[in-house]
Amino acid sequence: MNSKPLIAAGTLMGIGMGGFVDGILFHQIFQLHNMLSAKLPPDTLVNAKTNMVWDGLFHALTWVATAISIGMLWNAVKRKDVPLSGNTFFGSLVLGWGIFNLVEGIIDHHILGIHHVVELQGLSLYDYLFLTSGVLFILIGWAFIRTGSKDGASTNVSQRYKQV
């Protein structure tokens, strides 16, 4: 049995969904930062509009990742050699979200410095907590993936059709 297609689909979906959570919660609802807010504070109309465009491009990228992952998931569940495991899929989602938090946090918050979790505080404890959440999500996701072959939901498509 080959879990890799399910893990790849779930991981990419987790990356996309992690980006959506970041963008919707931090950028839009709580308005803690924008994509370029450390370089272009949204204190003028031009800067606010520029940040809005970059936030939109960020959301478009996360949407593309999520859309591709849906196609990957569709192909994975059609394959007879791919065991369908709730633990594996859930773990992959959490793993992907963790990868998003870790990579985005390192690149955007620390290397490029284009924004911070709480922009008014600059580089702060919140940026390190964001990185920590990424590492924790990766470890939790990996633990769920490892238990996936043992969970009772693990089955392949042909076995599922025989049960119906």
pTM over the 0.85 mark: yes
Q: Which residues pair with 155 in a beta bridge?
A: 84
Which pLDDT score is estimated for 160? 54
Q: Is 52 exposed, middle or buried (0-12, 13-18, 19+ CB in 10 A)?
A: middle
Number of domains in the chain: 1
How far is it, in rounded angstroms, from Cα 154 to Cα 87? 8
- Which residue matches tokens 């839009």? 28
Which pLDDT score is estimated for 157? 56
pLDDT digit string (tens) for 127-140? Answer: 999 999 999 999 99
Q: Low-confidence residues of the chain, pLDDT below 70?
A: 151-164
Which pLDDT score is estimated for 161? 57
- Which residue matches tokens 């272009």? 40
**Residue 28 CA to its chain's centroid (Å):** 17
* CA triple 22-25-26, angle to 5 deg: 70
Q: Which domain holds residue 150?
A: 4-163
How far is it, in rounded angstroms, from Cα 53 to Cα 82? 40
Which pLDDT score is estimated for 150? 73
